[in-house]
Amino acid sequence: MKIKELCQILNAKILSSGHLSREIKSIYVSDLMSDVLTFGREAQLLITSLTNQQTIRTVEMVEIPAICYTNGKYPEKKTIELANTKRVTILVTDFSTFQVTGKLFAAGLQG
Amino acid sequence: MNQIRISQSVIERIYEIRVEKIMRTDVTRVTPETKMSELKYVIKENNYACIPVLTGEKLVGQISIEGYVDWLTSEMGDVPVSEIMDIDFKTLHPDEPVITAVKELELIGLRGLPVVENESNKFLGVICRCTMMEGVLAVLDLDDEKESKKEYNCILNNIESVSALLTLNYIVEQKSLEYGGEISSSIRTDLYKLGLPGNLVRKTAIAAYEAEINLLAYAGGGTVTITLSSELLNMEIEDHGPGIPDVEKAMEPGYSTAPDWVRELGFGAGMGLQNIKNCSDNFTIKSTVGEGTVLIVDINMEGKCT
């Protein structure tokens, strides 16, 4: 599924564009960056309610192209700037992590 | 309110994009003899941009949506397009920057502008407001992918020496943990530039990142030294921090002494060292209380260099 389509399902705002036409193959949900580093895979979307710069650094290392921040949490300006430099897409949705996961699961995405 | 910041490189690239890259060529064309009443469907097909009027391949006029509305409200009847079309209008050339097109559209307030070949006036396509942004984004995306897939020649492949070694040194300065990852990011970029296989770069970057967080959180900074040979990547992470009293305990998954501020950043769950070990083919840790800690990470060069 394309990042653009995910955006529609989650009614999400795009804060940094990155690669919008990139295909997302699966989802990883975690607020623990060490877990993302261990289990994260490329072409995934990371769903998290943590919004600091380390989330961008983490996905950069694992080569995850997009992050979705839940609960309507906006990241700091610095996080957005870093995401722009690293070409990472940031989405923000008002839905909770549970709701986001449910919606994407229902849309056929797997972990 | 958060605003989207467009990085300088993106702005530079927007200036580099030429009209021909994002113009639409799938527009319906009409001839001067076409009846005005036939344009109803063409306008929709052309996404409400302008309708080019062609004699052969040459652009002789255009009907703008505004012109069409004027005709609708007039009482001219079903006249041929030639009587209504604008013949004096702005055109774009394929090699002009997109920014020019944006300015023209803003200036004239039109929805679209035709693109013609520089001298011959041969019709090539249309730039219209509604698809312009999409076009620009697609080009930027494409450029990016090209960039990220840029293939570097692995320099190690070109070295004939039996024991070629290349050493890269990095210093992790004591800074706020918020900057953790800057050095690992440089390491990752450097290794890609050297043409090393993706899998190896990924493992190294992850191990370096966990180690960098540790250096900042506990040791007040340190150094990372990477030595490359044709079979092995060796990474040594050294600090002069307080040292680890019980290394065996520290290696246990889940064991952590991390203070809350480390945990708030999404780390400190006692997985760091374990994670570094998992990324390595050979992992050693030496630590002396009061002197510091040295981690040695060896990763085999799997597969060939690109």
**Would you state the pLDDT for residue B50?**
77
Residue B70: what pLDDT? 84
Least confident of A25-29, B2-6, B222-226: B2-6
The end-to-end CA distance of chain B, in Å, is 44
Report pLDDT for B304: 44
Q: Which domain holds residue B98?
A: 8-148
- The pLDDT value recorded for residue B105 is 76
Minimum Cα–Cα distance from A18: chain B residue: B141
Q: What is the CATH classification number for the domain harbouring B32?
A: 3.10.580.10
Is B288 among the domain residues? yes
CA distance A36 to chain B (A): 10
Q: What's B20-39 look like in SS3?
A: HHHCECCCCCECCCCEHHHH
Query: How many other C-beta atoms can be found within 10 angstroms of the C-beta atom of residue A7?
Result: 18
pLDDT confidence bin for B164, thresholds 50/70/90: low
Q: Which helix (H) or strand (E) holds B187?
A: helix B182-193
Give, as one character, the DSSP assignment of residue B56: T
For residue B269, give how far its alpha carbon lies from the nearest alpha carbon of chain A (Å): 8
Helical packing angle, B182-193 and A53-62, nearest 10°: 20
Identify the CATH number of the domain in which residue B165 sits.
3.30.565.10
Q: Are residues B137 and B266 in the same domain?
A: no
pLDDT band at A19 (very low <50, low <70, confident <90, very high): confident
User: What ipTM was estimated for this complex?
Assistant: 0.85
Domain ranges of chain A: 3-106
B138, B229: one domain: no
Regarding whether B174 and B144 lie in a shared domain, the answer is no
* Residues in chain B closer than 8 A to A31 (CB atoms): 266
B192 with B61, same domain: the answer is no
For residue B225, what are its two tokens?
Answer: 């030294």
Mean pLDDT, range B91-100, rounded to an integer: 84
CA distance A87 to B281: 30
Do residue B266 and residue A31 have CB atoms under 8 angstroms apart?
Answer: yes
Higher-confidence position of B231 and B2: B231
pLDDT at B191 over 80: yes
pLDDT greater than 60 at residue B156: no
Residues in B closer than 8 angstroms to A21, CB to CB, are 138, 141
pLDDT over 90 (residue B45): no
pLDDT at B238 over 60: yes
Please tell me the least confidently modeled range out of A46-60, B3-17, B98-112, B266-280: B3-17
Residue B306 belongs to some domain of the structure: no
Q: Specify the range with the lowest mean pLDDT, choosing from B139-153, B158-172, B222-236.
A: B139-153
User: Quick one: pLDDT at residue B106?
Assistant: 73
Check the CA dihedral B105-B106-B108-B110 and report its sign: positive
Query: Is B43 part of any domain?
Result: yes
pLDDT of residue B268: 85
Residue B61 has pLDDT above 50, yes or no: yes
| Number of domains forming the structure of chain B | 2
Residues B162 and B128 in one domain: no
Read off the pLDDT of each residue in B34-55 and give the average, rounded to a whole number: 81
Check whether B251 has a pLDDT greater than 70. Answer: yes
**Chain A residues in contact with chain B using a Cβ-Cβ cutoff of 8 Å:** 14-17, 19-21, 31-35, 37-38, 48, 50, 52-55, 57-58, 60-63, 74-75, 77-78, 80-81, 84-87
Query: Which residue has better confidence, B11 or B276?
Result: B276
pLDDT of residue B23: 86
Q: Which of B11, B142, B184, B185 should one mutate to test binding to chain A, selecting the residue with the greatest count of A CBs within 10 A? A: B185
**What span, in angstroms and rounded, lies between the C-alpha atoms of B19 and B28?**
19
| Residue at B76 is within a domain | yes
The pLDDT value recorded for residue A96 is 96
pLDDT at B145 over 70: no
In this structure, is residue B1 part of a structural domain?
Answer: no
Q: Is residue B201 part of a domain?
A: yes
Say yes or no: B123 and B165 in one domain.
no
CATH architecture designation of domain A3-106? 3-Layer(aba) Sandwich (3.40)
pLDDT tens-digit map of A49-97 = 999 999 999 999 999 999 999 999 999 999 999 999 999 999 999 999 9
Question: Which residue among B127, B148, B169 closes a domain?
Answer: B148
Q: Are residues B21 and B142 in the same domain?
A: yes
Please report the DSSP string for B255-273 in residue order.
-----HHHHTTT--SS-HH
Contact B127, B100 (CB under 8 A): no
Q: What's the gap in Å between the CA of A80 and the closest CA on chain B?
A: 7
